[in-house]
Amino acid sequence: MMGVENVKVLGILGAHRADGVTAQLLQAVLKGAAASADTELVNLNDYELRPDHDSQPNDDLDALEAKLMAADVWVLAAPTYLGSLSGVMKNFCDCFRGRIARFNSVGEAVPDRFKNKHYVTITDCYAGGIENYLTGVTDATFKTLDKFLTMGGLIKLREIVVTKTWGMQTITAAKQAECERVGARAAHKKERDDSTVKRYIQLFFMIAVMALLTMGIEAGIQQLIPLNNFWAYYGVFVVVFYVLLAMILHFFTVVKHRRR
């Protein structure tokens, strides 16, 4: 369906089944986007994917590149197998690695023609929600996709996860609705969001809260161990602040994503 905003949302399915849970999640996102955008779904199983060679044409990879170039938002969906990205999607990432970015003389990836496009990632796994939250079963899947896409300068919008999919035939109404909402929002993300000011504001409040917590903890410590000079007080403050900062950084870089 052609939307009034002329935004193109491309769904990329990297699963073995065209009607499985992963495909249903992707279709739900595209359904939500279809009200205001042009949508298309490509199944990677329909393409013969292989790495580029200078002397050989690569028609299927060329066709996929043209679709990716024309799209404003990419929605990549792949199940998590054995704690990692499915082979179908991983093969696409491997084969497309030489095209996602421009590489300089020392082999560093430089964002190029795909820079500032947006993306959504989707995965599902057999593990339960609590197990996934505590052990991060789906972490490797998201990290691999994020590394591949940010190498090209794409901007992340959202992650979607479904857990405990063993025996599941259809996604729940709640997850269907969530996916449609994500798709509807993604359809309006044609231009890059300048969130620099927002990040500085978030950083300010994060530091302010951490400083307050540190002072509160230090006041409790002082009830047990008197801190009678500046250096003792300063040393305890630095140690407590560092521990809190390390915990927050670990949460945002390793733990935090929508695992349920």
* pLDDT tens readout for residues 183-227: 999 998 655 554 567 778 888 888 898 899 999 998 899 888 888
121 - beta bridge partners? 76, 159
196: exposed, middle or buried (Cβ count in 10 Å: 0-12, 13-18, 19+): exposed
Share of the chain above pLDDT 90, in %: 67
Residue pair 196/226 in contact (Cβ under 8 Å)? The answer is no
pLDDT at 106: 83
Question: In sequence order, which residues have a C-beta less than 8 Å from that of residue 254 and are 6 or more positions away?
Answer: 136, 139
DSSP 203-247: HHHHHHHHHHHHHHHHHHHHHHS---SHHHHHHHHHHHHHHHHHH
What's the pLDDT at 222? 87
Residues 39-92: tens digit of each pLDDT: 999 999 999 999 998 778 999 999 999 999 999 999 999 999 999 999 999 999
**For residue 249, pLDDT beyond 70:** yes
State the pLDDT confidence band at 180, using cuts at 50, 70 and 90: very high
Q: What is the pLDDT of residue 3?
A: 40
Please report which confidence band the pLDDT of residue 2 belongs to, taking 50, 70 and 90 as the band edges: very low
Helix, strand or coil, per DSSP, at residue 144: helix
How many alpha carbons fall within 13 Å on the CB side of residue 42? 22
d(CA 82, CA 89): 14
Whole-angstrom distance, CA of residue 162 vs CA of residue 98: 31
- State the pLDDT at residue 225: 87
Quote the pLDDT of residue 42.
98
What is the predicted pLDDT for the residue at 193? 52
Percent of the chain at pLDDT exceeding 70: 91
CB 26 within 8 A of CB 89: no
Mean pLDDT value of segment 159-179: 96
* Separation between Cα atoms, residue 107 and residue 42, nearest integer Å: 30
pTM: 0.77
Q: What is the pLDDT of residues 6-23, one digit of tens each?
A: 799 999 999 999 999 999
Nearest to 217 by CA among 196, 233, 198: 233
Q: Which residues contact 237 (CB under 8 A, 6 or more apart)?
A: 214, 215, 218
Over the range 40-71, which residues count as b (16 or more CB within 10 Å of their CB) and which as e? ebbbbeebebeeeeeeeebeebeebbeebeeb
